Amino acid sequence: MSGGPELMTHHAYEEPVDDGRPDDDGKPVLTPEQRKKRRWKIIRRVAYAFVAVFFVLPAIAFVITYFLVDVPSPTEVAQNQSQAVTYLFADGSPMGKDVPRGGNRVLLTPEQIPDVMKHAAIATEDDSFETNSGFDVGGLLRAVYNQATGGTGGGSTISQQYIKKATDNDAPTLTRKWTELAKSFKMNQTYEKKDIITAYLNIIYFGRGAYGVGAASQAFFHKDAKDLTFSEAALLAGLIQQPGRSENPKVAQDRWNTALDRMVKNNYITAADRAAAKFPTPIPLEDSKQQAGAPPAFVVQQVKDELAAHDIPEDRYYSGGFVVQTTIDPKAQQAAEQAATEALENQVDDNLLDALVAVDPKTGGVLAYYGGKPIVQVNGQDQAGRDWANTPQNPGSSMKPFDLTAFLKMGKGLDATFDGSNNRTFDGRVVRNAGPGSSCSQECTVAEAMKRSANTVFYDMVLNQTHQQPVKDAAREAGVKTKNDDGGQSIISTKDNNISLGGGETQITPLDMAAAYATFAANGQQRPRHFVLKVSNAQNEVAYEASTDAKAAFDSDADKSRQIAGNVTEALKPVIDFSHLKCPSGHECAGKTGTQQHTKTAGEPSWAANANSQTWMVGYTPSVSVAAWVGGDGNKPLHGKNNSPIYGSTIAGPMWQKFLSLYLTGKPGERFDKVDRIGGEVPPPPSSDVATTTDATPTDENQGGDGDNNGNDGDQGGNHGNQSSSQESTPKHTKTPPTSKETPTKSDEPDN
């Protein structure tokens, strides 16, 4: 048909042509080639920006940083290390200076440091040292990965470690790391490798107060660095990572093995050398006498430990020019040293040791600390003494206040009654009292039992009423620091009922005892024990200051905690007179003796059967808590004149009394606060200015203490009490009549 509409059955797709006309949005229509070019243009610009941001700009910044920074020389670093630490008493008067062993070091030349020492350090700390430019890219990537995944291990080269130590800056910031990398790179462009490893070994910290390998070789092996063997060098190199644990034998052995293995891997020693290597035992820690004018060695160690826990570790301790104001009262320290020294002057037993610690209940500060002689003679040689004030021992009956605390927390009081007769049987195990003076009736009050130290009452109390865990809790709440739980030294075992009488595996340090009894003196307010008041650096800035914040120890309610502590004090006041001890005039005292019987072994003399191995007197006034310990190193039979046994009240008690007499002379009188008796009112105080005088005394005054007989409040040493431990958790009624009146054999007696 002509003139009609054209029938369209198909139109082929035609690529749009850029004819200059805009699209619907008003933009030019691009051809495919134009679109492709635009995409690549965008990609190139992004790539340029990426390179600029992540490569060019950092490179420029790195170059600028490179020219701006300086690399400290070892001489400059040495001037800021090994500075003496000045110690002050609490009143600000000088105590002395702690001068590090490395204080008089000489910077060694590359020729004075043997290759074995250089190789040991390189293999242990930076095995790419010979080829890297100051930083190891692989190590950096590993460090980044470890930080992202929560792993351990860094990527620092020897050059970086040198810079970090030289600048004393290890802040985890990008700025610090960036500057460190620039300085490390510059160091490698400026110095030869032999000079870099020499500089590193001249300033790095090895432990024992020794900065630099010259000081370390003397401190550990008493020889010049040039004479070090490869085995000795391996130990020193291994300790670089853990210098603060250099005296831990296991750590030292592990680090030595690691260093030797890496030396073999790097072909510095042969496999045969490795197999033949023997661990190089360091010389004793105290290889020379304490320098004149130095503070007490054991106080220094306690201060170091305390500062390490507050971000001033040992490698910073000697580098800050620090002034440490301690809590030590000069009068109290002098009194402690005098009392402890005089206590053993006329004794005939050379195995006797002693310790005394005094703590301020109002602050938690340690007023006096005597742990024995810091230097002792062994085979004619001077060696480091052991700190007996921080060595755990069986506390014996001085544990009973914690039994009582757990009992009071149950809402039961001093007027509760138990069977206090002698030779009571618990689950087939006979428990005895120390002697006639320590037993009481079958209706014995808790207050009377504490005064007499009746073992049967407290064994029954813990076994059948409080149980063991609450006793441990009470001791820790008062301030005892236990291993594992609190990072301390003391051990409180709840696996059997020996805890009730302070025997078996339960062992507490004199430091812990003084701190824990201080909580009773402070009306149930516990303050962390501490040796440091304040630390100032070389710029007179405060680097650390102790907190004296208190918390209610025995109950979340401060009034309840106060009442519990006050009832413990009320029970302990009569013990002073009962143990033939006296408080200074005008002062009230409370406290408890304790004794642990020696376990006789084959070959010992007959008198050892009745000997004791540990004795205590722990007591307090409102202003000072004092733990006095006299004992032996382990289970040794101790004796007085004519091989007579010693007790808590025969040496430790008078030492405690002597300290209080010296320290409190001239100080105002003091009395304990009154509290409501749990279950009733506290009886009116006696007219005397001292602790309550009782009408009961031990049958034999020579036995002393809480009516101790045959050694100690019934205390038995060693492991005898563990036999029936599996049966001791069965609850029973309070008053169990005795089933045997015979004197038990030692294997049936409880530890105490």
CA distance 338 to 330: 12
C-beta separation of 345 from 312 below 8 A? no
Alpha-carbon distance values, 716 to 26, 107, 170, 454 (Å): 103, 58, 53, 14
Per DSSP, 54 falls in state I
Q: Which of 125, 306, 570, 749 is catalytic?
A: 125
Active site (annotated) includes residue 82: no
Comparing CA positions, the residue from 586, 672, 666, 663 lying closest to residue 328 is: 663
C-beta separation of 97 from 335 below 8 A? no
Strands 205-207 and 210-211: antiparallel
Alpha-carbon distance values, 671 to 447, 587, 588, 677, 691 (Å): 19, 6, 5, 17, 9
Provide the CB-side half-sphere exposure for 559 (13 A, CA): 1
C-beta separation of 426 from 732 below 8 A? yes
- At residue 28, what are phi and psi to the nearest 5 degrees? -65, 145
Alpha-carbon distance values, 482 to 198, 349, 396, 486, 510 (Å): 44, 31, 17, 5, 13
Per DSSP, 417 falls in state E
C-beta separation of 651 from 631 below 8 A? no
Give bridge partners of residue 593 from the DSSP assignment. 617
Cα pseudo-dihedral 506, 510, 516, 521, rounded to 10: 140
C-beta separation of 308 from 245 below 8 A? no
Opening angle at CA 426, ends 722 and 438, nearest 5: 95
Number of Cβ within 10 Å of residue 331's Cβ equals 18
C-beta separation of 647 from 593 below 8 A? yes
- At residue 211, what are phi and psi to the nearest 5 degrees? -100, 125
Comparing CA positions, the residue from 659, 596, 595, 653 lying closest to residue 623 is: 659
CA distance 724 to 703: 29
Show the 3-state SS of 174-207.
HHHHHHHHHHHHHHHHHCCHHHHHHHHHHHCEEE
Active site (annotated) includes residue 397: yes
Number of Cβ within 10 Å of residue 60's Cβ equals 11
Alpha helices for 558-713 (secondary structure H) = 558-578, 653-664
- At residue 204, what are phi and psi to the nearest 5 degrees? -70, 150
Q: Which of 82, 184, 319, 397 is catalytic?
A: 397
Q: Which residues are catalytic?
A: 125, 397
